[in-house]
Structure 1
């Protein structure tokens, strides 16, 4: 039997160059798909004949309704060891093994700081003016030294972001529902008494929480209004943690100075979406995890996951 494998959402057409897929030759027929799907019907039409699927992060969701329409599917591999877009209980009911890969935390940390620095020093505005022969110096940058960085979440990524903020001479505070003063102190960070206090006292607020029922919509209109009009919001975590209509209003009405965004409620973001053009938004196309080292790890370990599954001993299973 030749197994059929689809590698999904390979936007840059690089999956095959990131790993040695030849080890599967003769046993697995691998095809890569570059374009995002517009509906479940499109997904079924594209991969309904496949026993193996390799998914890139959460680009293509696998809810129970879709899994029920993929009776041939036996192995679903996702990059990373957490994927909220896969219904694991439904996968188990349908006999689908779900495996993951390692994912490095450094790339999203680095991108978070690219956004913070880009916002603080108006890098896109100034660079665009330089290229167009425009005015020489048109903005005043926001200082980082001595300012306050507020972190919503102090896990692996948040802790690394905090260290860099401290290196810039920033005061760093953090808050999450489960964060303790002891854990904050270990990272050299002050624990904000409440979410509201963090928002009211921070010059930059950066989101580093896992999306869950408790964090969905955590920042709504009331919370955004508590931020300083000179403050910036950065989100490299998940879009749904911030209420998107409220964020749009906050940016349009200048409740806050601006936002650095790498995640959106719809991806790819539609061409006419206002977040693409608002002057106080620095938006990126979800690049947080898109680095060579991460991609090599994703696809090399995806090949390992497939090889182990075919040998009858799946590895890195999600539960």
Structure 2
């Protein structure tokens, strides 16, 4: 007699759905989070989005979920993701509250890094349960985003009585909840923008300069270097600083500024600002000798005057 086959992993479709989920703003973030909640056993039932990209994204990540108005999303869902740009969030919340679209007991979740739950105050007055869940991840608008949520940190802010609920939702999506106080949200978000968004700018500029210098595959050249630099920085902080600025090689830095001014003048201001910041940090941490710092800072000051 053949042995019975071992049971496979449970199918999320076979699990009882605990919450109906709606998305107001079917952008990259909202679609990915709703898809992750679906994998956890919840049931996306409605989304709003007007752009062609939103329609395509919802079809790919949330198949079968109808696109309706924001008010209709709230009417259908127990948990509503407000995934709109930061500047649009306050007006959206006020509008939904003023029109009576918000139901008492409804979980209202925004994903803005900038805001905590104070921006949801109009919804709170209407009886909603406010949560701020910000995934610390860059999104592509494809299914890979759902996979990247595994181990992704989420900056969470919520009323104390909802803290466990906020953490549970993040864990269900595969994320790692990190508590951020309401008053610390702007600083928290500035730190992430400084690290991630500015990193993209720096890397893109570096690749452009390498192409100008004749390098055929700048991404392949930079990959190992930047990977090692990032790993060292995460492990050692300022102790990982290397290069001509940290060494106090004023002549090399002057040559850089001169060449950039001739070949890529749009990069000079950024180079000088980052070099000055690097010099300050290297000096403060004892990596840059004071006698070398004077000449270096002189070169940087002279670069500003040209």
TM-score range for the pair, normalised by the shorter chain length: 0.3 to 0.5
Higher helix share: 2
What TM-score, normalized to structure 1? 0.37
**Normalising by structure 2, what TM-score?**
0.38
Higher gyration radius (CA):
2
